[in-house]
Structure 1
Amino acid sequence: MTPRLLALALALSTPLVLGACSSSDDDAPTSPPVEEPGGAPPPAEPATLLDEGFDDATGAALPEGWRQVTGLVNAASQQAGSLVIDGLANESVGTAVALPASLATQGNYRIDVRFTIDSAKNTSRWVGFLYRTSDTPNLEPYTQMAVRQNATADNGTELAHRADGQWNVTDKAPFSENIDPAKTYTATVVVHGNRVRQYLDGTLLHDGELDDTRPVGGLALQATGAVLRVDHVTVKAQEEALPPLGQIFAVTEPETGASLAPTLVGSDPAQAGIASNQIMTLDASLNLHAENGESLGTLAAFLDKPGHAIPVLRLGDAATAKALVPFADARGLIDATLVSTDPALLTEARALLPRLRTALDFTQAGLGNTRNELLSIVHATNRSGSKIALVPPALLDRDAVAYLQDMLITVWAAAVDDGTAARAATVLASGVNGIVTGEAQTYADLLGKLPDGTLLRKPRIVGHRGIPGLEDENTLEGAIRAYDEGADTIESDIQLSTDGTLYIMHDGTVDRTTTSTGEFEAMSDAQIQALVTKPNGRAVPTLEAFFNEFKGKPVTHFVEIKTNKPEAVDALHALVDAHGVRDQLVVISFSQSQLKRLRERMPEVSAGFLTGVPTGTDTQRIVRQILANTQALSSTFNPSYNNLTPAILEAAKHRGTTFWPWTYRDEAIARAHYRAGTYGLTTDDAQWFGGYAARVDLPAQATVPVGQLALAGTLLRQDRKTEPLKATRYVVVESTAPYAQDGDGSLTFTGTGTATVLALHTHDQGDGQGYTLLSTPVMLTVQ
């Protein structure tokens, strides 16, 4: 694996002041402005490319140059001074009208559309304002501003891309009111280069980036399951660039064969250039200090240095956070992490600087690695709005680290810098996500010894709705089977009965999964308990039954809030309290409203945001959008696996972001993403992974003879079964005993002394490829 140089940042929203678009032309001055003597001429007004009010007295079905491209024939026409596009015939495929083809040569424009939604099949249907459309029968690929009739929903408005029949929604936001057919609204889209802003009635809703592989394209209007009425369309050239989304920092990391190797956070300025992050203390005058108290100059000077690392800034008080606010705004500082031992201070810092990440430092907390102490780390980290926990050396146990990661906490280790590679090997073998160290070079050297395909941290297997490949989905029997096959986590969808009980059910109706029909959330407990699932005739279980079955077992619940009812969060809160399962609970959802409600009612619980990976090949742009989404919700990123690449995973890890993609139904893709070190894979077929090697266990110390080294140990499989293991391949961490090593990793000592080694075990995934696991360090006495 070659060294990586990545440029990444969080999204920065800088609101553009925009008046009511519908009145801008009427308010224009009637005479040109007066020039001051000797002054520069006033800027030219942007060229008007189109101004259409649909008042053609000829009665033409569409204005000249306009054409209907999709939908039923003659589903669009001019009526009483408006353009009416009837998309009621299809709830998922839109009726689209393309604007004049001459606009397709443009790429930078401002589109203002005065419109309303006359009617819709249901309140989730939408109308769309399309731009950078293509010259294809269905206009794909294109980008769209979508507005639903239920505009106050989480996805009431969207910035979405359409290609190859698939949607990729990169941003969504609620509007202040639902669309009223008796009112008229103005949708505004401003596009320049790869930047776009989308407004509704002057309110900035989406501030994002586009895949700039399509720098020009046409415009269109679309109705999907709805009737769109348009009173006026204006298109002007957009000559002024939109503000950049934020400052971007270069990131370096050592050459290594490990997939998703831990990010290095350097505490020694002398080793700058090795670590991707640099930790420093910031004071209220915005001066920086090294961990040993050495002055490092100002934050401004640090950021002005070429090739600087991502700043990780220790905060000592609220005054420092407040002093940072104007500086961050002026400099566009968005790619930084704030650290403190005080969770209340981090909460305040997040409120002041919502675009900056935070990490809670537990190195002074005196915690051990009991279940309750580890759970306290999870809860305190989440309450502070952080995703990163900085833990002391006493917690660098593989099981403790894995538990925190199962609970969606990103674990950074405070390493003991004693100058030995053996200690560094212990930290690496713990599987942490990041390492804070003054000896970054020691870690870089050790990482460089690891073979390609090394996994320092085993990906977790998430049983999607149990194990639908073998059992009825979302049933207790399916969940138990998934656990028996080796799933680390059981994913389940929750909805409410009319009696207020939480049940496990995915669809809004019971038609697909049971022998009955009807809306699930319109059913009572008695009606639900009478349901029979297909094809094996199981009962529809309660969430309570899941909590009872798995309490105390080594498994995590991914509870997906499928219902839109806000009272579901209260019901979940009460059920978790009654059964004491917070140590097994993670909540995930597509609904930002439900995740925000979770933060209010259960701020200690980890959350995962279900969404999609932005399209395109620009890793920098993709990661920026991912970070913007997760930062707003203090969540992990739980996307559909489409468009997810190792480059995106590697880039985001330096910002503490973990990925939990869904839903793997293609085993070849699942194998590849497992090798890439993906944090957790959600699948219908947990049985694919049951025989996978999960951990190599060897004695911590051994006395061995001179000659070829072979150590006996144990291999733990994904399905929790064990096998005897004979290790014959190794990484030599350090050695006073002379040795010879073959290219395959086999090791022969040629003399006596001491050595520290890491045993290697490669698991063949059955497709001619595999991954390699390491043991913890073994201290050898060679006699």
Structure 2
Amino acid sequence: MKKSRFLCMVLAAAMVLSTNIFKFDRIRAEDKIYATTSSPAIPVTVGEAVNLDDVMIEFSSNVYFRASDVNITVSDDSKDALKVENGKLSAGIAGLHSIKAEKNNIVKTVYVVARAGSEDDFVLFLDDFDTGLSDEYKRVEGFSSDIYVEEGFLYLKGNSLRSPRLLLPEFLDAFGDYEIEVVGTITEAAEPTRWVSIMYRSQNNNAQYLQMCVRKGATANNGLEIAENTGGWTVHKTASYKETIDSGKMYTFKVHVEGPDINYYINGEKVLSGKLDGYVRGGIGLQANNSTFKVDSIKVKYVAGKPGKAGYTFFEIVQPDMGIIGGMAMSEFVESKEDLARIEELDIKPANIIFYMDKDLNATDKTFSKPYMGIEEAVISLMGVMTPTFYINDEQTANNLGDFLKENKLEDCFVMSSNPELVQIVRKKARITRGVIDFTEKYLEKESVTKDDLMEIRGIVNSNMASVCVIPSNIASRENVKFLYERLVSVWVNESDPLTTKKDTYNLLITGAHGIVSDNSRLVYETAMLMSGNKLLRVPLNVGHRGVPSLAPENTIEGALLAYEKGADVIEIDIHLTKDGIPVIIHDANTSRTCNGVSLEVRNSTVEQLKDLNANSGRTDFGEIKIPTLEEFYEAIKDLDVLVFVELKSTERELVTALREATLKHNMTDRISVITFHTSNITNMNREFPEMSVGYLMGASATGATSDFQTRSVLNIIQPYGTTYNPSYNYHSKDFFTKANMRGITTWPWTINNEVVYTYFLAGANGITTDTCQILAPFTKFLNVKKLEHKVEIGDSIKIEASRTTYGREEIDASKDVRVIFLEGEELATLKDGEITFKDYGTVVYALEYTHEIDENNSYTVYSKPVTVTVEELPVSSNTWLIIAIAAGVVVVAAAVILFIVLERRENNTLY
């Protein structure tokens, strides 16, 4: 019953706000025009008005508002073509126009595709190339000699070196449901297997896309393909056509894509059909592979939007950008409809809303005793722009919630509890849901925590299929937060008291946490905006890939020690198991590549046999180097301030057992995390070493029309295993890292070398795995001040002094290069020539910031802890008291004399 009710409301409900309480209308889809995420347009015939009551606008995934209930304005460039009045929309000119739809401070661009009364189709785009090639097209690959217009035809000429690709105008990227008609042919091909294609739902500047592939020899079994490119090819389905493509004949190639449904046509005949999820919308383009594509015209037709086509609920977070590298999610608890109404009106919306849930899946207050809204209404109330977190405190609620999330495919949410077992119950039922374990109550009264406390937090998070820990602000120092996220645990800091001061807010920000839970998201935003620059609050780990192979032999103790000297925070190593059951550090299963051509299979060799080899990888300047055992490696680095990522290369369970035994023996549990390409290793780790953090190595897997949907593709892969995301670095945008961190996904890309390091360092990767860790050595990690509290008098001055710590572990004076941020009491002080002088009593709080210039185009800013200055009133000296006493005495004597004179005169006046 709950399932059908929820789906009805989410997939076919309009939300109408009345007296700040949400109401829901059940809408018959056939009676409405839907401007959806994948077809954000309203079809209009010139001279015929559309009633805005009949238009539903999708503001986020499966969250709709009536057009009559939102604020509609005509875009500036469409004011001559469109008119909105009396609840109706009309067009006076055929073509593509646009409007802006605004609801609760969320603005969406909606296109209006207008046709003349004599036309059959609603056309989004049409080009017959009679006037050449417009500047709105974008060449992704190929030169002007490869892509050109001649005599009214577009040519793409591919060769053995290049496959020219041309993207249609960028506005089409906003669509995903459309019909593409290309009239053209293949005039030349190096061989019958060569092809041309229509690319669609293209992502990230054509880094990923789907395509209709048509081979010159179209009669082959794979003459036509539904293919996907994500840096490599995946062919999903193939078919053949009845004839070879004739260079002297024009064909109409058509792609009709609607939701997951894909249909290909040639000359009106359906030739291939398939289904493919994951790509909601994206651009359109053409490509020629070692062939020539001659194109007479391109037409892109509107396809009517249909609600709920995607079949899942995933949100598009609108928390404003705070300029923080990697982002930081703001979260707020909601305990009533009034709380929700307040947040709805905020122009600064948090990324995440936390609902307390009872066993009947009602949102309640924090006592779990005052229900105010069902789970369906709670989810829909977030308008698809904030993610829900469900806070639970008993087993029945956990089971009910897990069943509900699974049945309703509600993927983009967290489950949170102070009881780790409840989180695990939900995670086992709803595998994509993210787990959050709340340690607020446990540590709220503690002034400090130990390393053992932090390791306990890590172990509880990992062993209960969670990815996020919540710690109270009183223990959330920069050092403690860093300890946890360096060990692959996402951290939210909870300010359980009302957040009212910029100092307290600033302290939360500089922890570097992935999220802040408070009652004042606006203050968090405003305080962040006081901090200038590209804000580096969460310092990425510098991960030396197999040590520092650009300078020393890989996977050796010598290389590891050099990597540490060159600034590595983490040494990444690879381990295999020997014949005698000893884990040794080597990448390949065979010794040939790293041991100067001597070929031994590691698994079939003893440690003694392997120790006879020279593992210097041909680097004669290093002399003879031995393959180290894992235990030898641990002994070599045990006294260094460096962590270890251990990659499990082989898949036998015995390797996990040996790793655990060696790690416990050398007391290195707090120093390592484990990474692997193999899900069998993840399963074995969960069984034998459940408290250990594990990263899942893979190729780039973030696909989707937006960064939000890219995170969905990643969650589908990693969440069933409860790991971090450790991909090949390609195709990950800054926005992806931000949205992933907001969802508790930490991303650890590999292998990034040379200047490419800068891009991913500034994009928000949690760590940079590199062969060239020395590049980051001069980069600034922290800004330090010597003293955090001062007491001064009026007129006193404090000299600004600061130092910066680099990845190379140098401390460098930065006093002359910092800027001051006043957080409190700025009116009590003046700043001049590197000194702060205090002119009135009270409290002044300030912090320092330093901008590190990487090069002329790239920089980032780091921040000190806040400094508190108490300006005291001047103390009164003993001499001052003497002066005051004498003055008081003089006043008393003078008063007595005056009184005596007055009385004498009165007496004399009386006698006469």
TM-score between both structures, scaled by the size of structure 2: 0.61
Partner of 1:764: helix, strand, or coil? strand
Within the candidate set 556, 565, 583, 2:670 is matched to 583
Cα displacement (A) at 1:740? 6.7
Q: Tell me the amino acid that sits aligned with residue 730 of structure 1.
A: V
Within the candidate set 414, 418, 429, 2:494 is matched to 414
Note the alpha carbon deviations across 1:204-235, whole angstroms, 9 max, x for none: 9996448854699999xxxxxxxxxxxxxxxx
**Cα gap change, 1:349 to 1:615, in 2 (>3 Å):** closer
Cα displacement (A) at 1:107? 8.8
**Cα gap change, 1:421 to 1:131, in 2 (>3 Å):** closer
Q: For 1:616-631, what aligned pairs fall within 5 Å after superposition?
A: 618-631=706-719
Partner of 1:253: helix, strand, or coil? coil
Separation (CA, whole Å) in 2 of partners of 1:191 and 1:546: 58
Contact persistence 1:756–1:779 (CA under 8 A) = yes
Separation (CA, whole Å) in 2 of partners of 1:719 and 1:513: 28
Task: Find out whether 1:771 has 2:860 as its counterpart.
Answer: yes
Note the alpha carbon deviations across 1:561-586, whole angstroms, 9 max, x for none: 11133321122122222222111120
Separation (CA, whole Å) in 2 of partners of 1:623 and 1:661: 15
Q: Tell me the amino acid that sits aligned with residue 359 of structure 2.
A: A
Q: Tell me the amino acid that sits aligned with residue 602 of structure 2.
A: F
Contact persistence 2:800–2:836 (CA under 8 A) = no
Task: Find out whether 1:733 has 2:815 as its counterpart.
Answer: no
Task: Find out whether 1:259 has 2:325 as its counterpart.
Answer: yes
Cα displacement (A) at 1:559? 0.4
Contact persistence 1:456–1:773 (CA under 8 A) = yes
**Cα gap change, 1:570 to 1:719, in 2 (>3 Å):** same
Task: Find out whether 1:385 has 2:461 as its counterpart.
Answer: no
Contact persistence 1:144–1:161 (CA under 8 A) = no
Cα displacement (A) at 1:392? 1.8
Task: Find out whether 1:405 has 2:405 as its counterpart.
Answer: no
**Aligned equivalent of 2:553:** 472
Please identify, of 382-391 and 395-404, the stretch whose mean Cα deviation from structure 2 is larger. 395-404
Cα displacement (A) at 1:429? 1.4
Contact persistence 1:131–1:144 (CA under 8 A) = no
Contact persistence 2:784–2:865 (CA under 8 A) = yes
Partner of 2:715: helix, strand, or coil? helix
**Aligned equivalent of 1:717:** 806
Note the alpha carbon deviations across 1:579-604, whole angstroms, 9 max, x for none: 22111120001112211221121111
**Cα gap change, 1:734 to 1:387, in 2 (>3 Å):** same
Cα displacement (A) at 1:737? 3.1
**Aligned equivalent of 1:302:** 378
Cα displacement (A) at 1:316? 1.1
Q: Tell me the amino acid that sits aligned with residue 680 of structure 1.
A: G
Q: Tell me the amino acid that sits aligned with residue 864 of structure 2.
A: S
Contact persistence 1:573–1:602 (CA under 8 A) = yes
Cα displacement (A) at 1:330? 4.8
**Aligned equivalent of 2:412:** 335
Q: Bigger radius of gyration, 1 or 2?
A: 2
Q: Tell me the amino acid that sits aligned with residue 394 of structure 1.
A: N
Separation (CA, whole Å) in 2 of partners of 1:675 and 1:331: 38
Q: For 1:450-599, what aligned pairs fall within 5 Å after superposition?
A: 450-518=531-599, 519-532=601-614, 533-534=616-617, 535=619, 536=622, 537-599=624-686
Separation (CA, whole Å) in 2 of partners of 1:160 and 1:530: 50
Cα displacement (A) at 1:378? 0.5
Q: For 1:96-107, what aligned pairs fall within 5 Å after superposition?
A: none
Q: For 1:621-770, what aligned pairs fall within 5 Å after superposition?
A: 621-667=709-755, 669-698=756-785, 699-703=787-791, 710-726=799-815, 728-735=818-825, 737-738=827-828, 752-770=841-859
Separation (CA, whole Å) in 1 of partners of 2:308 and 2:503: 51
Contact persistence 1:265–1:435 (CA under 8 A) = yes
Q: For 1:271-310, what aligned pairs fall within 5 Å after superposition?
A: 271-272=343-344, 273=346, 274-291=349-366, 295-305=371-381, 306=383, 309-310=386-387
Cα displacement (A) at 1:170? 13
Cα displacement (A) at 1:377? 0.6
Note the alpha carbon deviations across 1:106-139, whole angstroms, 9 max, x for none: 999xxxxxxxxxxxxxxxxxxxxx9835468999
- Percentage of pairs with the same residue: 26
**Cα gap change, 1:571 to 1:779, in 2 (>3 Å):** same
Aligned residues: 611
Partner of 1:365: helix, strand, or coil? helix
Contact persistence 2:314–2:384 (CA under 8 A) = no
Partner of 2:805: helix, strand, or coil? strand
**Aligned equivalent of 1:30:** none
Q: Tell me the amino acid that sits aligned with residue 435 of structure 2.
A: T
Separation (CA, whole Å) in 1 of partners of 2:235 and 2:745: 17
**Aligned equivalent of 2:211:** 132
Q: Once superposed, what is the RMSD of the aligned Cα atoms? A: 4.0
**Aligned equivalent of 1:195:** 260
Q: Tell me the amino acid that sits aligned with residue 729 of structure 1.
A: R
**Aligned equivalent of 1:433:** 514
Contact persistence 2:217–2:223 (CA under 8 A) = no
Separation (CA, whole Å) in 2 of partners of 1:618 and 1:509: 42
Please identify, of 307-316 and 242-251, the stretch whose mean Cα deviation from structure 2 is larger. 242-251
**Cα gap change, 1:169 to 1:454, in 2 (>3 Å):** farther
Cα displacement (A) at 1:322? 2.2
Q: For 1:25-64, what aligned pairs fall within 5 Å after superposition?
A: none
Q: Greater helix percent: which structure?
A: 2
Cα displacement (A) at 1:462? 0.5
**Aligned equivalent of 2:312:** 246
Please identify, of 709-718 and 598-607, the stretch whose mean Cα deviation from structure 2 is larger. 709-718
Separation (CA, whole Å) in 1 of partners of 2:669 and 2:570: 14
Q: Tell me the amino acid that sits aligned with residue 633 of structure 1.
A: Y
Partner of 1:765: helix, strand, or coil? strand
Separation (CA, whole Å) in 2 of partners of 1:664 and 1:255: 26
Cα displacement (A) at 1:754? 2.0
**Cα gap change, 1:350 to 1:470, in 2 (>3 Å):** same
Contact persistence 2:547–2:563 (CA under 8 A) = yes
Q: Tell me the amino acid that sits aligned with residue 473 of structure 1.
A: E
Partner of 2:801: helix, strand, or coil? strand
TM-score between both structures, scaled by the size of structure 1: 0.70
Cα displacement (A) at 1:416? 4.2
Contact persistence 2:214–2:223 (CA under 8 A) = no
Cα displacement (A) at 1:702? 2.5
Contact persistence 1:466–1:475 (CA under 8 A) = yes
Separation (CA, whole Å) in 2 of partners of 1:296 and 1:266: 17
Note the alpha carbon deviations across 1:270-325, whole angstroms, 9 max, x for none: 34542110112011111112447664412211222235521111111121122224
Q: Tell me the amino acid that sits aligned with residue 456 of structure 1.
A: L
Within the candidate set 352, 359, 378, 2:436 is matched to 359
Cα displacement (A) at 1:255? 4.2
Note the alpha carbon deviations across 1:467-495, whole angstroms, 9 max, x for none: 11111111010011111222111100111
Note the alpha carbon deviations across 1:319-338, whole angstroms, 9 max, x for none: 11222245334543111111
Separation (CA, whole Å) in 1 of partners of 2:235 and 2:544: 26
Contact persistence 2:198–2:213 (CA under 8 A) = no
- Where structure 2 has 5 or more consecutive residues not aligned to the other structure, the ranges are 1-57, 63-158, 161-190, 202-208, 237-254, 263-273, 290-305, 873-912
Separation (CA, whole Å) in 2 of partners of 1:729 and 1:364: 38
Separation (CA, whole Å) in 1 of partners of 2:223 and 2:308: 18
Contact persistence 1:753–1:781 (CA under 8 A) = yes
Cα displacement (A) at 1:357? 0.8
Contact persistence 1:586–1:605 (CA under 8 A) = yes
Please identify, of 303-312 and 586-595, the stretch whose mean Cα deviation from structure 2 is larger. 303-312
Note the alpha carbon deviations across 1:68-120, whole angstroms, 9 max, x for none: x99xxxxxxxxxxxxxxxxxxxxxxxxx996999xx78999xxxxxxxxxxxx
Cα displacement (A) at 1:759? 0.7
Contact persistence 1:196–1:210 (CA under 8 A) = no
Note the alpha carbon deviations across 1:395-447, whole angstroms, 9 max, x for none: 21111111101100001111143422211111111111111111222212101
Contact persistence 2:802–2:813 (CA under 8 A) = yes
**Cα gap change, 1:778 to 1:304, in 2 (>3 Å):** same
Partner of 1:455: helix, strand, or coil? coil
Partner of 2:428: helix, strand, or coil? helix
Note the alpha carbon deviations across 1:613-643, whole angstroms, 9 max, x for none: 3357632332211121221221111111111
